[in-house]
A and B are shown apart, each in its own frame.
Chain A
Amino acid sequence: MNENKEKGYGEEIQFTRSSVVVFFIFLFHIFRGFASGRGFKQRPPGAGGNHRKSEVDSYIAEASFLSKCIRCGQCGVVCPTQERGEETAKAIQFCKSGFDQGTPYIEPRKAACIMCVDKPCVVACPTDALDLGKLDIEQSIMGTAEIVSPKGCLAIQGLRCEVCYNRCPLIGDAIKLEKRVNRRTKVHIIYEPVVDSDVCTGCGICEQVCIADEAVIKVRQYYPPFKDPDFYKFKGSS
């Protein structure tokens, strides 16, 4: 599983002159995150540019988004989740305090992004803070889902849940089910939901609908797979 690879990523990243700036912004986030109990903020689709999934550096994307978002609130106006009766809230909320006050974010357990095909939030954004270029909504990156506490997942315990899988807009692609026979009963199957972070958009629907009292599948920051070490180096650095 690429999960393991990703975990190694943080250690292997090579800090260069320019990325030091980004790093400080990132550090700030971490501290804020500790303070608020959440180290990562899910942004609307296209935040920080129209990167293809395998190319995005989410730290840079976040920094870029923050520098471009003019806090106008237009994306929130058009976000339609409330009208669909499903969610009680709009997927797009706005930060109420802090240095990023007024910027949009998504709290999926309350209302996830339903991945509107027409990308109204992106269209409404007057700058390119939200920008998907020619990319489909399905190629957007708001983060990636992860089973954060497998012990709490009903499906992993052998119960027939798989709600996250059933409701994922990229069912079968972003979440797959891995099968194994239940070792205790020997006559039942366990369907373990496994996220493919290269496909998952981080829309958060799985987090919103997870059947457990506290979601055991959550959207976290997306780290691109460590494919080409040079990609993270700025040109000219040694």
Chain B
Amino acid sequence: MAISRRDFLKNTAAAVALSSLTGISTEAKTQLNEDKNELLKGTKTFKAPCRFCGTGCGVQIHTKEGKIIMTEGDPKAPVNMGLNCIKGYNLSKVLYGKERILYPEIRKNGKLERVSWDEAINYIADRYKKVLKEKGPKAVAIAGSGQWTIPEGYVAAKFMKAGLKSNNIDPNARYCMASAVAAFIRTFQADEPMGSYADFEHADVFVTWGANMAEMHPILFSRLVAQKETTGAILFDLTTRESRTSDEAESVLVFKPQTDLAILNAIANYIVANDLYDKKFVEKNTRIKMAQIEPGYGIDPISAPHLAAMENAQRGRKKAGAGTPMTFDQYKNFLATYTFDYASKISGVPADKIKKLAQAYADPSLKVMSLWTMGFNQHTRGVWCNHLIYNIHLLMGKISEPGNGPFSLTGQPSACGTAREVGTFAHKLPIGVVMKKAHREIAAKIWLGDAKKENEIPSKPGFHMTKMMREFERGNLDIMWVQCCNPFTASPNISRFRDRSLNKDSMLIVSDSYRTASTDLADVVLPAAMWVEKEGFYGNAERRTQHWFQATLPPGEAKEDMWHILAVAEKLGLGHMFPDKDDPQRVKKIFEEYRQFKTGSSKDLAPYEEYVKARGLCWPVVQDKKTGEWKETLWRYNAKYDPYASKALGGKKEGIVFYKAKGKKATMWCCPYEPASEVPDNDYPFWLCTGRVLEHWHTGSMTARIPALHRAVPYAKLEMHPEDAKKLGVKRGEKVKISSRRGTAFYEVDTHGRGRPQKGLVYVPFFDENNPINMLTLDHYDPISKEPDYKKCAVKIEKA
């Protein structure tokens, strides 16, 4: 254990000491101060999950006199066994970069000026009071994050939904895996992957769909390649740009953007037409629905006048998410169009390559793991892509077994833990959704002390992130509070949002650790403690909930994001709903309250202390009645591993059952290929795809401030096919001007980099805050998940 026994005992002692105290006590404060002094003494070792990607590697943090002197991979962490990527390796420096925000600031006469915490909190609270009185709770919003710790997200959700009675809270995870969430819910009526990282050591075939795992999930990819080396497993890579992942693949299928839909259907067609599917499994565990076709693209006429007609034509249709039941024969007929030749024709992938992939999926002796991230999710038909991959796995019954399964990877360290499980979305609750009375009752009971108060939680979903940005832009939101994210760099088509002319009178509050484009636009900036400067929990992509203790003090007057909200809540008279903001036991208390939502729901969490001991636990974590031991679940829906599945099958110890799904049957959604909203034409002949690089994380607000990582990749370059470059008369290293209908930027061209785009497509990573590619990207979104498409829009390129 990384936390020494003594530390642990000391914390328990503190808990005991405090249990006899009530309210804000001076003792509590003293205790905290003592803790602080304790932190500053001698050398100590702590455990924590990595601050960056959704892999959730464990690290050990060594401190000396309260300062982090070193971090290293935690050999006991099952996720990474002591290894890290270079972002994790450089974690110790993430707290000590240039431009940490140290004090609260308020914009006065156009300039951000340092103020005291009291002044800042009073200023915010007064404004809240005024707005809530005059315009009601719909005029305020919080833009949160999958980088919030679980308790932070929980407090923010409770503050908004039960405190202010507003559902206007949504995380940046909307930009990241909302499509995955929607598809999970629509297919299984339960979010999050069934498998775990242990799948990597069991699979025979890996298929990466629009996921450059080699760079984005480096440690998991390391496991994937090791499995290939040791067992001869093979990798198919489906992509629009060859990457480091493609370098390891036995077969690379480079398809034209958006045509993944056709390839997915062609695989299903092969399986169905040749009667290769697992009939028993399909009959017992699935049903079929036809998706609403042409559901629209979330086009905003303001930003895309050239497509307004298209959006209008589709707007009158039924709800984007609607579906009509379908028989298997109808499904079979629907699929019949998707022959390999047809898929090959629209995708540009040779038919025999698609066939080989289909055969791998269809071979009952091969265990197949499909992995995907933003290529599927950031897609105007992202939910459909997710559906179509489940269809293939369900048809073959290759799911919920070691080595067999669809695995949706995440990008943020707590996209699962905070955004999805806590439910910091505009429509979600810690269990269920705001639209359902039964779910509101559960929330009302825990949050407001009485299930009958369910009507106090608004039943209509609030603004999702994309909508929130648009409403803020138009001045329809009086207060927008941004925490743990940087939407003014990360949102698509940002120039429209950076223009504050229509919302001069609105208040933008930004809680952050480093200065970003978002803090530059803010009216109030609050300094945030980050990562191990506070205690917290993250939940990674395999449902693993990981705890860490505070290991060091935040700089200046920085406080954790949760403290910011609690301070305002207190002023608004909502203090009674939460532990005191300075209570040293606050994280534990909040976690235990949150845990009530999950207990018995099949998403059970263990008590706080278990997480203090373990290197994370994958939920459902159920207590063994005999031994009293808390056991994690690595494969859900499989009676051999998941106690809930076993229960649903009457105590049997084997078999697969989708016990959360309606009628215990997963829904296979029948979705056609539909073109992208904006496609290249004569004026804008290239596709633009955006993404990340191994060295940087998201908008670079943290990694770009780590000198070694900044030195490694100091600025974004534009990747282009050498033949395209030749045609344009540009050479590697020269600058080009790239423009879309929304904006213009300049980049240096690379024709021989680690990524090799197909002809007609260029790729630019989005980490470069000085030269953000999101000036050009498209703010169209999947009409079901509301997740924008960052992977395709039309651009033109000229020699600069």
Residues of A within 8 A of B (CB): 84-86, 114-118, 154, 158-163, 166-167, 169-172, 179-182, 184-189, 208-209, 211, 213
Q: What residues of B have a CB within 8 angstroms of the CB of A163 in the complex?
A: 86, 694-695, 712-713
Q: What residues of B have a CB within 8 angstroms of the CB of A209 in the complex?
A: 711-713
Q: What residues of B have a CB within 8 angstroms of the CB of A181 in the complex?
A: 226, 229-230
Decide: A160 near B222, CB < 8 A? Known: A171-B754, A181-B229.
yes
6 closest A-B pairs (Cβ-Cβ)? A160-B218, A160-B85, A189-B225, A185-B81, A117-B731, A188-B222
Bound-complex Cα distance A171 to B734 (A): 19
What 0/1 readout, one digit per residue, does chain B (31-68) give for beta carbons within 8 Å of chain A?
Answer: 00000000000000000000000000000000000000
B711 touches A179 (CB 8 A): no
Decide: A160 near B694, CB < 8 A? Known: A181-B229, A182-B226, A187-B81.
yes
Q: What residues of A have a CB within 8 angstroms of the CB of B85 in the complex?
A: 159-161
* Closest residue on chain B to residue A188 by CB atoms: B222
Residues of B within 8 A of A (CB): 73, 81-86, 89-90, 200-201, 218-219, 221-223, 225-227, 229-230, 244, 247, 693-695, 708-709, 711-715, 731-734, 748, 752-754
Q: What residues of A have a CB within 8 angstroms of the CB of B708 in the complex?
A: 211, 213
Q: In the complex, which of the residues A86, A114, A185 contacts B82, with contact meaning CB atoms closer than 8 Å?
A: A185
Q: What residues of B have a CB within 8 angstroms of the CB of A182 in the complex?
A: 83, 222, 226
Bound-complex Cα distance A213 to B709 (A): 11
A117 touches B83 (CB 8 A): no
Decide: A114 near B733, CB < 8 A? Known: A159-B73, A163-B695.
yes
* Closest residue on chain B to residue A190 by CB atoms: B222
A188 touches B223 (CB 8 A): yes
Decide: A118 near B711, CB < 8 A? Known: A159-B73, A159-B86, A171-B752.
no
A179 touches B81 (CB 8 A): no
Bound-complex Cα distance A208 to B707 (A): 12
B732 touches A161 (CB 8 A): no
Q: What residues of A have a CB within 8 angstroms of the CB of B200 in the complex?
A: 187
Bound-complex Cα distance A181 to B712 (A): 26
- Least CB distance, A115 to chain B, in whole angstroms: 8
B86 touches A161 (CB 8 A): yes
Bound-complex Cα distance A161 to B711 (A): 13
Q: What residues of B have a CB within 8 angstroms of the CB of A189 in the complex?
A: 222-223, 225-226, 229
List, sorted by A's number, 22 A–B pairs whose CB atoms are closer than 8 Å.
A84-B748, A86-B714, A114-B733, A118-B731, A159-B84, A160-B219, A163-B695, A166-B693, A167-B713, A169-B752, A170-B752, A181-B229, A185-B82, A185-B83, A187-B226, A187-B227, A188-B226, A189-B222, A189-B223, A211-B90, A211-B708, A211-B709
B715 touches A86 (CB 8 A): yes
Q: What residues of B have a CB within 8 angstroms of the CB of A160 in the complex?
A: 83-86, 218-219, 221-222, 694
Q: What residues of A have a CB within 8 angstroms of the CB of B230 in the complex?
A: 181, 186
Decide: A85 near B225, CB < 8 A? Known: A159-B84, A161-B86, A187-B200.
no
A187 touches B715 (CB 8 A): no
- Least CB distance, B721 to chain A, in whole angstroms: 16
Q: What residues of B have a CB within 8 angstroms of the CB of A118 in the complex?
A: 731
* Closest residue on chain B to residue A169 by CB atoms: B752
Bound-complex Cα distance A9 to B693 (A): 40
A167 touches B226 (CB 8 A): no
A116 touches B733 (CB 8 A): yes
Q: What residues of B have a CB within 8 angstroms of the CB of A162 in the complex?
A: 694
Q: What residues of B have a CB within 8 angstroms of the CB of A167 in the complex?
A: 712-713
- Least CB distance, B759 to chain A, in whole angstroms: 20
* Closest residue on chain A to residue B224 by CB atoms: A189
**Known interface pairs A163-B713, A171-B754; 9 further A-B residue pairs with C-beta atoms within 8 A, sorted by A's residue number:** A115-B733, A117-B734, A160-B218, A161-B85, A161-B86, A184-B82, A189-B223, A189-B229, A209-B711
A211 touches B752 (CB 8 A): no
- Least CB distance, A156 to chain B, in whole angstroms: 12
Q: What residues of B have a CB within 8 angstroms of the CB of A171 in the complex?
A: 752-754
A117 touches B732 (CB 8 A): yes
Q: What residues of A have a CB within 8 angstroms of the CB of B247 in the complex?
A: 172
Q: In the complex, which of the residues A161, A170, A179, A211 contacts B225, with contact meaning CB atoms closer than 8 Å?
A: A179
* Closest residue on chain B to residue A212 by CB atoms: B708
Bound-complex Cα distance A117 to B725 (A): 13
A211 touches B226 (CB 8 A): no
Q: What residues of A have a CB within 8 angstroms of the CB of B709 in the complex?
A: 211
Q: What residues of B have a CB within 8 angstroms of the CB of A187 in the complex?
A: 81, 200-201, 223, 226-227
Interface centre among B86, B221, B225, B695 (most CB of A within 10 A): B86
- Least CB distance, B647 to chain A, in whole angstroms: 32
Interface centre among A160, A161, A181 (most CB of B within 10 A): A160
* Closest residue on chain A to residue B214 by CB atoms: A160
Bound-complex Cα distance A171 to B754 (A): 7
Bound-complex Cα distance A160 to B712 (A): 14
Bound-complex Cα distance A211 to B712 (A): 7
* Closest residue on chain B to residue A117 by CB atoms: B731
* Closest residue on chain B to residue A109 by CB atoms: B711
Decide: A188 near B81, CB < 8 A? Known: A86-B715, A179-B229, A208-B711.
yes
Bound-complex Cα distance A187 to B221 (A): 10
Bound-complex Cα distance A117 to B662 (A): 62
* Closest residue on chain A to residue B754 by CB atoms: A166
Bound-complex Cα distance A31 to B439 (A): 80
Bound-complex Cα distance A184 to B247 (A): 25
Q: What residues of A have a CB within 8 angstroms of the CB of B731 in the complex?
A: 117-118
A159 touches B83 (CB 8 A): yes
Interface centre among A85, A167, A188 (most CB of B within 10 A): A188
- Least CB distance, B769 to chain A, in whole angstroms: 13
Q: What residues of A have a CB within 8 angstroms of the CB of B219 in the complex?
A: 160, 188
Bound-complex Cα distance A154 to B221 (A): 16
A161 touches B82 (CB 8 A): no
A154 touches B86 (CB 8 A): yes
Bound-complex Cα distance A189 to B84 (A): 12
Bound-complex Cα distance A166 to B756 (A): 12
A166 touches B714 (CB 8 A): no
* Closest residue on chain A to residue B693 by CB atoms: A166
Bound-complex Cα distance A197 to B244 (A): 22
Interface centre among A118, A159, A172, A179 (most CB of B within 10 A): A159
Q: What residues of A have a CB within 8 angstroms of the CB of B711 in the complex?
A: 208-209
Bound-complex Cα distance A184 to B82 (A): 10
Q: What residues of A have a CB within 8 angstroms of the CB of B221 in the complex?
A: 160
* Closest residue on chain A to residue B197 by CB atoms: A187
Bound-complex Cα distance A53 to B752 (A): 21
Bound-complex Cα distance A181 to B81 (A): 14
Q: In the complex, which of the residues B83, B715, B734 contacts A188, with contact meaning CB atoms closer than 8 Å?
A: B83
